[in-house]
């Protein structure tokens, strides 16, 4: 036994001495094969089968050369390669790379001047938008100080690449996608310290083809309709009495659309500042050109039964719920999280709702409807689905002076399909809305400036809003120590100028 062992050792030493380079080369090849195999396993686990195939082929060649075709490792390498080809043939290879934002820049007038600009990874840009939105509305002093840094980061990532293609252009029609719908480009800050609103006028679109409809509607609306400061706790008896005084009909029960189950637990507080807002605008327009409804008369029936207004101004609460997460529709998921930047709300199993019932505005009696368990009771909750039924062909302008009314279900392609889309589909030519809640005082001042500019006849509606915001900036700076975009930058103009 001892002799045989010594002979074997001697044989191995003889082979090693005779072929030192061949043995060393074989060892290096097997180490390479092992490293390649680890990469193959990693790519396989990630679903990148096509990328793994050439590496697996290299492993097979190395094993055949180093170990011989009959070695078990060669058979294993061959089986692994066949498995990768099988998965690729079944179409299990990931088809999409990470999403990116692309900007198509088309200049007005004749010619074919078109540019395609890659803005970068969509997830990274969405993160920047979320960070800006969190900071701009935060009550934390440090976060407020950091909002300008976030605005500059977004400028560098999103606007600077486009700016190089704009040349001397000062008016921009922009159709954002995804979370860029939640961003007013006016508040982005360049390296010179100037906000974009100081150099550009922005017109927001749902899609580029909206431009084709500009100027095609010949309908004209009647008196402006102004609604503000609703009595959200309005009871049924008071409502019935108010309807009789206004000579309006109650909406028949059973014919109304349902509200979202995720609105359960919501309540709306009075907004006394909106009363002064609509009263001031009413005085500017003139009693002969505008109808005013507040308190108990700020009813859903007024909005839905009123004739087509030339201007519709709604100064009240807006509500929205984020997209339902289809992956979370399981039996163990209960309740919801209010929309924000912390993720989508979770719904009960099987309850996939129409996105049009997940956003809207609140009018008189909304709190009472929410207190009732019957989802068909939606008095005062004017969802986007209801808004689609409004008669707005001939309405030049809708103003949503409310809390976060611009936020809705974020989809690819057409962009936000929330209140903004519902109003335009109902026939409104243009829309002014806020992308976050603005304090009453600054909102009133900006709205008065907007209507004053618009009524002067010297500028179009988008220019009137821009000029009102520019005029507000020094007022905010004197009042708060800095021209913080929170106070002047929330409102955006969408649609036909």
- Does residue 347 sit within a domain? no
CB neighbours of residue 199 within 10 Å: 12
Choose the final residue of a domain: 26, 58, 89. Answer: 89
Task: Tell whether 141 and 159 lie within a shared domain.
Answer: yes
Angle value at C-alpha 333, between 329 and 336, nearest 5 degrees: 95
Tens digit of each residue's pLDDT (9 = 90 or more) over 430-453:
999 988 888 888 998 999 999 999
Task: Tell whether 182 and 224 lie within a shared domain.
Answer: no
Task: Tell whether 218 and 125 lie within a shared domain.
Answer: no
- Does residue 346 sit within a domain? no
Tens digit of each residue's pLDDT (9 = 90 or more) over 406-436:
444 444 333 345 778 889 989 999 999 988 8
Dig out the tokens for 209 from the structure: 């083809």
Work out how many domains the chain is built from and give that number: 3
Task: Tell whether 420 and 289 lie within a shared domain.
Answer: yes
Angle value at C-alpha 313, between 312 and 316, nearest 5 degrees: 135
**Residue with token string 């010594």:** 6
pLDDT in tens, the chain (497 residues): 333 333 333 333 333 333 444 555 677 888 888 888 888 888 877 777 788 888 888 888 888 788 877 777 877 777 777 777 666 555 554 556 788 999 999 888 776 778 889 999 999 999 999 899 889 988 777 767 789 999 999 999 999 999 989 988 999 999 998 889 889 999 999 999 999 999 999 999 988 888 888 888 777 889 999 999 999 999 889 999 999 999 888 776 555 566 777 777 778 888 888 999 999 999 999 999 999 999 999 999 999 999 899 999 999 988 777 655 444 433 332 222 233 333 334 444 445 667 778 788 999 999 988 888 666 666 788 988 899 999 999 999 999 987 655 444 444 333 345 778 889 989 999 999 988 888 888 998 999 999 999 999 999 999 999 999 999 999 999 999 889 999 999 999 999 99
Task: Tell whether 231 and 282 lie within a shared domain.
Answer: yes
Choose the final residue of a domain: 26, 54, 89. Answer: 89
Task: Tell whether 263 and 373 lie within a shared domain.
Answer: yes
Task: Tell whether 15 and 155 lie within a shared domain.
Answer: no
- Does residue 333 sit within a domain? no
- Does residue 75 sit within a domain? yes
Pairing of strands 224-230, 114-121: unpaired
Q: Secondary structure of the chain in the HEC alphabet?
A: CHHHHHHHHHHHHHHHHHCHHHHHHHHHHHHHHHHHHHHHHHHHHHCCHHHHHHHHHHHHHHHHHHHCCCCHHHHHHHHHHHHHHHHHHCCCCCCCCCCEEEEEEECCCCCCCEEEEEEEEHHHHHHHHHHHHHHHHCCCHHHHHHHHHHHHHHHHHHHHHHHHHHCCCCEEEECCCHHHHHCCHHHCECCCCCEHHHCCEEEECCCHHHHHHCCCCCCCCECEEEEEEECCCCCHHHHHHHHHHHCCCCCCCCCCCCCCHHHCCCCCCCCHHHHHHHHHHHHHHCCCCEEEEEECCCCHHHHHHCCCECEEEEECCEEECCCCCHHHCCCCCCCCCCCCCCCCCCCCCCCCCCHHHCEEEECCCHHHHHHCCCCCCCCCEEEHHHHCCCCCCCCCEEEECCCCCCCCCECCCCCECCHHHHHHHCCCCEEEEECCCCCHHHHHHHHHHHHHHHHCCCCCHHHHHHHHHHHHHHHHHHHHCCCCHHHHCCEEEEECC
Task: Tell whether 236 and 372 lie within a shared domain.
Answer: yes
Task: Tell whether 157 and 287 lie within a shared domain.
Answer: no
Tens digit of each residue's pLDDT (9 = 90 or more) over 361-384:
999 999 988 888 666 666 788 988
Choose the final residue of a domain: 89, 112, 127. Answer: 89
Task: Tell whether 108 and 84 lie within a shared domain.
Answer: no
Distance of alpha carbon 235 from alpha carbon 237, whole angstroms: 6
Task: Tell whether 284 and 307 lie within a shared domain.
Answer: yes
- Does residue 343 sit within a domain? no
Between the two ends of the chain, the Cα-to-Cα distance in Å is 100
Structural domain of 52: 2-89
- Does residue 235 sit within a domain? yes
Task: Tell whether 66 and 172 lie within a shared domain.
Answer: no
Distance of CA 413 to CAs 131, 208, 214, 424, Å?
Answer: 23, 11, 20, 17
Based on the number of CB atoms within 10 Å of its own CB, is 415 exposed (0-12), middle (13-18) or buried (19 or more)?
buried
Q: What CATH number is given to the structural domain containing 38?
A: 1.25.40.10
- Does residue 336 sit within a domain? no
- Does residue 342 sit within a domain? no
This prediction's pTM:
0.74
């Amino acid at each position: 036994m001892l002799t045989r062992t010594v002979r074997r050792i001697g044989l191995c030493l003889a082979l090693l001495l005779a072929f030192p380079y061949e043995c060393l080369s074989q060892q290096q090849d097997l180490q390479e094969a092992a490293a390649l195999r680890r990469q193959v396993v990693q790519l396989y686990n990630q679903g990148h089968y096509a990328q793994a195939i050439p590496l697996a082929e290299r492993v097979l060649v190395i094993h055949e050369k180093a170990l011989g075709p009959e070695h078990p490792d060669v058979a294993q390498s061959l089986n692994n390669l066949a498995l990768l080809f099988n998965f690729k043939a079944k179409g299990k290879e990931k088809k999409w790379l990470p999403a990116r934002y692309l900007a198509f820049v088309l200049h007005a007038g004749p010619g074919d001047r078109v540019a395609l600009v890659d803005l970068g990874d969509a997830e990274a840009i969405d993160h920047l938008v979320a960070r800006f939105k969190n900071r701009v509305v935060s009550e934390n002093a440090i976060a407020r100080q950091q909002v300008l840094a976030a605005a500059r980061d977004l400028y560098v990532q999103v606007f600077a690449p486009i700016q190089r293609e704009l040349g001397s252009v000062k008016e921009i029609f922009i159709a954002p996608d995804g979370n860029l719908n939640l961003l007013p480009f006016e508040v982005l800050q360049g390296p010179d310290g100037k906000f974009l609103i100081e150099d550009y006028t922005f017109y927001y679109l749902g899609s580029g083809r909206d431009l084709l409809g500009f100027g095609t509607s010949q309908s004209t609306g009647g008196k402006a309709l102004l609604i503000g400061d609703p009595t959200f706790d309005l009871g049924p008896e008071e409502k019935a009495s108010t309807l009789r005084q206004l000579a309006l009909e109650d909406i028949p029960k059973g014919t109304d659309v349902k509200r979202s189950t995720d609105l359960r637990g919501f309540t709306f507080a009075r907004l006394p500042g909106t009363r002064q807002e609509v009263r001031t605008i009413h005085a500017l327009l003139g009693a002969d050109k505008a109808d005013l409804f507040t308190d108990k008369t700020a009813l859903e029936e007024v909005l839905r039964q009123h004739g087509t207004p030339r201007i519709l101004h709604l100064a009240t609460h807006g509500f929205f719920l984020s997209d339902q997460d289809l992956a979370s529709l399981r039996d163990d998921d209960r309740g919801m999280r209010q929309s924000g930047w912390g993720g989508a709300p979770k719904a009960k199993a099987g309850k996939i709702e129409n996105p049009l019932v997940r956003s809207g505005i609140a009018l008189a009696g909304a709190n009472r409807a929410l207190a009732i368990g019957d989802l068909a009771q939606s008095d005062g909750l004017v969802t986007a689905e209801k808004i689609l039924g409004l008669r707005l062909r001939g309405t030049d302008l809708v103003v949503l002076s409310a809390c976060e009314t611009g936020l809705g279900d974020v989809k690819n392609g057409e962009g936000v399909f929330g209140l903004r889309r519902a109003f335009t589909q109902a026939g409104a030519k243009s829309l002014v809305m806020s992308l976050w809640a603005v304090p009453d005082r600054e909102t009133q001042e900006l709205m008065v400036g907007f209507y004053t500019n618009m009524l002067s006849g010297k500028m179009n509606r988008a220019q009137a809003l821009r000029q009102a915001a520019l005029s507000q900036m020094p007022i905010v700076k004197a009042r708060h120590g800095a021209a913080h975009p929170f106070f002047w930058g929330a409102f955006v103009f969408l649609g036909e100028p």
